[in-house]
Structure 1
Amino acid sequence: MCALLVTPARQHRDQHRDQRQDRRRDQDRELTVRTLSVPEYQAFLSRNGAASFLQYPSWASVKDLWHSERVGWHYPDGEMEGAGLVLFRQFPGTRKYFAYLPEGPVADWSDPRIDRWLAPLMRHLKAAGAFAVRIGPTPAYRRWDAATAKAATGPGRQISDVLATEVDPVGAALADRLRTRGWKRCGGEDDGDAQPRHVFRVPLAGRSPDELWSGLNQEWRRNVRKAAKAGVETVVGTAADLPAFYRLLRLTEERDGFRLGRSLAYYEQQYAVLNAEEPGRMRLYLGIHQGEILAAHTMVVAGSRVWYQTGASADHRREVRPSNALQWRMMCDAHALGAQEYDMRGVPSTLDPDERSFGLLRWKLGTGGQVVETLGEWETPMDGYANTALYKAFQAYLARR
């Protein structure tokens, strides 16, 4: 009898069939939520490199006005399928809490049976005294490449006026599922969301350093060369350099008309606790010219992702372009670390060149990345709290903050 010949194509089809069967089996199993120890939680994150740094245990130590809990979703056999860092903020004068999962939880957001995830979470948090919950689902919603966004600039224009380069089907479906279950999308990056609604990301995966360089526009390449020719040095600083960073940050806030409202002690604590969790998790990059620090930027490394978090620069000698030199160094270091993308964090939604905030977007567009509209943050009260004075008072409290 002749042996059955199994072709590579058939093997491929069989493999995908088995994967689909495994997925259907998993989606038929119920999930429960329980508290996790730090080692359990960190072990899960180590297997899920795409998690935001805001979901790492160290972030709870940065937000010291909140208390925290780590939770995990489990199948009946104990296998863990998802996890999240929950921050609790007590409403003054009560024993009730606002529960917040910044850029989390780490879950299978493509699962159409979303109630398997939300229902056990809500039961767990209600038992902990929460009267409302806010989550930050991680799928993207829409993306615009740099060329598309730049071509669409004009008076009164918003990024939402422009046909997206890509719409994420997972994000679009998830938004509908949350909405039909009574979750409400928070107001916007300047009105409700604690994290930016629109961010700027530079893809790194599968690209060589030369390809990253050619992805910069001509102005960026010229400015990086200008900084090198002027003798700007880019170095990684230490905790001792944080006061210099903070002095530059205050200058930047005054010059650009914004106020982050954070103290030097905040950055010192953030630097200490993130690097205690893993050395090099938070890095401070310095742009030095003629012995003076002219620019200082912070970077966070977690899993397979890297974030440019906060940037600051001096008012003088701006012609030597220290910030461009720093960003190029940070982007190259992120690539060398094996990061999948370099996240430059928030950008404004305006495409109007006459708007003051547009300058930040214009600067980031020069790196050749993408404007990404995230799903934003979604909130819901617990059963029985939707129309109570407590929930309305807390909404007013958040608006004042």
Structure 2
Amino acid sequence: MNTILQTPVWARFQRRLGKTVHERSGPGWSFLAVEEKTPLGMYLYAPYGPCADNVAALDGALAALTELAKAKKAHYVRVEPVAAGLGSDAARTLAARGLVKAPTDVQPHLSWKVDLSQDEGELLKGMRSTSRNLYRNIHKKGVTFDISTDPAELPILLGFLEKVSGRAEFTAQSSNYLTRAAEVLMPEGAAKLFIARLDGAPIAAALSYDTADTRVYAHAAADDAHRKLNAGIPLLVTMMLDAKADGITEFDMWGVSPEDEPDHAWAGFSRFKRSFGGAEVEYPGTWDLPVNTLMYNTYGASRKARTLLRGALKTARTTVGSLRGKLGRG
């Protein structure tokens, strides 16, 4: 797996955001690690990393991360080794090396991927029939699709994202984040903007992140005024077929919720992603490697205390609200 989050161009993007980024490599391994700050100090975070050819190479990467953390006085290292050949025994393998499961996963531990190496007919056949037919016929309704590598066109997507942000299942990245991403990744061929237009006017847009073998469905939004056209569906198919034409072999829908959790906040758009064919991929999740054990434990205790306090405040507000309602009825 060649994840965009562990590439040199992603490192340049993170530095444009003002982050301190470290890149290291050795026999069979490499990593990109970002310095992240907490109220109690600093830690190193390797998003969907480190990359390693096998478990032995992973040991080399973890040793280098530990050495770097000590040099930078980081309290711990946070990793997500999706490309280390750990298989179904990942948790046991990581725990045996002193790692502990992080309180929450930073990047999604479940993704949905579509194989683009199959021929176009098979690719379309794997989709829901309504999606396939919509892609083939939406041009009859005056909808066209543009592909851009010009960062100046990103505001089209930003405008749609601003309108849909705030929904329970949707939290958009900041405009500054996406603008910097476009400025760095687009000129490098690591991002593309896809735009659906109705009679020339934009009605939906999506941004992809690309490596040599994988396209990520990163950010997308549509104009609610034209929701009946379902332009986001043929727009996504366009992204897939364009990636296939570029020689990319995998389309990564990014995070999905478990299929057996219908009430999950992501359930709606997870069903949408699964409707295009493909298969679920499970990662080990986010793990921490304590370097300064005392400070790491202090961090954990502080986090638990904040969580308990938030829970108590929520309960108190609910109780007060209930009492006010009863008093009002009295």
Shorter-chain TM band: 0.7 to 0.9
Structure-to-structure mapping, 1:359-398, within 5 angstroms: 359-385=268-294, 388-390=297-299, 392-393=301-302
Structure-to-structure mapping, 1:101-140, within 5 angstroms: 101-108=46-53, 110-111=54-55, 114-139=58-83
Residue in structure 2 matching 1:252, options 137, 159, 164: 164
Secondary structure of residue in 2 paired with 1:103: coil
- C-alpha contact (below 8 Å) 1:227/1:321 kept by paired residues: no
Change (3 A) 1:316 1:131: same
Change (3 A) 1:397 1:299: farther
- C-alpha contact (below 8 Å) 1:228/1:325 kept by paired residues: no
Whether 1:202 and 2:111 are equivalent positions in the alignment is: no
Give me the whole-angstrom Cα distance separating, in 1, the residues matched to 2:218 and 2:227.
21
Residue in structure 2 matching 1:176, options 68, 72, 92: 92
- C-alpha contact (below 8 Å) 1:102/1:135 kept by paired residues: yes
Structure-to-structure mapping, 1:233-312, within 5 angstroms: 233-237=144-148, 238-254=150-166, 256-260=167-171, 262-276=173-187, 278=188, 280-312=189-221
Whether 1:51 and 2:2 are equivalent positions in the alignment is: yes
Aligned to 1:86: 33
Give the TM-score normalised by structure 2: 0.83
Give me the whole-angstrom Cα distance separating, in 1, the residues matched to 2:105 and 2:30.
22
- Per-residue CA deviations over 1:251-275 (Å, capped at 9, x if unaligned) read 2224x43453532222111111113
Give me the whole-angstrom Cα distance separating, in 1, the residues matched to 2:73 and 2:264.
44
Aligned to 2:25: 72
- C-alpha contact (below 8 Å) 1:226/1:321 kept by paired residues: no
Give me the whole-angstrom Cα distance separating, in 2, the residues matched to 1:390 and 1:56.
30
Change (3 A) 1:301 1:113: closer
Give me the whole-angstrom Cα distance separating, in 2, the residues matched to 1:397 and 1:259.
24
- Per-residue CA deviations over 1:332-356 (Å, capped at 9, x if unaligned) read 0111121121001111224455666
Give me the whole-angstrom Cα distance separating, in 2, the residues matched to 1:307 and 1:134.
23
Percent identity over the alignment is 28
Task: Return structure 1 stretches of 4+ with deviation > 6 angstroms.
Answer: 394-400
Quote the offset at 1:182 in angstroms. 2.6
Residue in structure 1 matching 2:42, options 91, 97, 117: 97
- Per-residue CA deviations over 1:128-168 (Å, capped at 9, x if unaligned) read 2211111111149xxxxxxxxxxxxxxxxxxxxxxxxxxxx
Change (3 A) 1:115 1:301: closer
Structure-to-structure mapping, 1:148-187, within 5 angstroms: 170-187=86-103
Give me the whole-angstrom Cα distance separating, in 2, the residues matched to 1:388 and 1:357.
31
- Per-residue CA deviations over 1:243-300 (Å, capped at 9, x if unaligned) read 221111122224x434535322221111111134x2x211110000122211100011
- C-alpha contact (below 8 Å) 2:82/2:284 kept by paired residues: yes
- C-alpha contact (below 8 Å) 2:145/2:194 kept by paired residues: yes
Aligned to 1:76: none
Secondary structure of residue in 1 paired with 2:48: coil
Letter in 2 for 1:54: L
Quote the offset at 1:90 in angstroms. 3.4
Change (3 A) 1:324 1:390: closer
Change (3 A) 1:336 1:313: same
Query: What is the alpha-carbon root mean square deviation over aligned residues?
Result: 2.7
Change (3 A) 1:396 1:112: farther
Change (3 A) 1:363 1:129: same
What count of residue pairs does the alignment treat as equivalent? 306
Change (3 A) 1:244 1:306: same
- C-alpha contact (below 8 Å) 2:112/2:281 kept by paired residues: yes
Quote the offset at 1:170 in angstroms. 3.4
Unaligned runs of 5+ in 2: 311-330
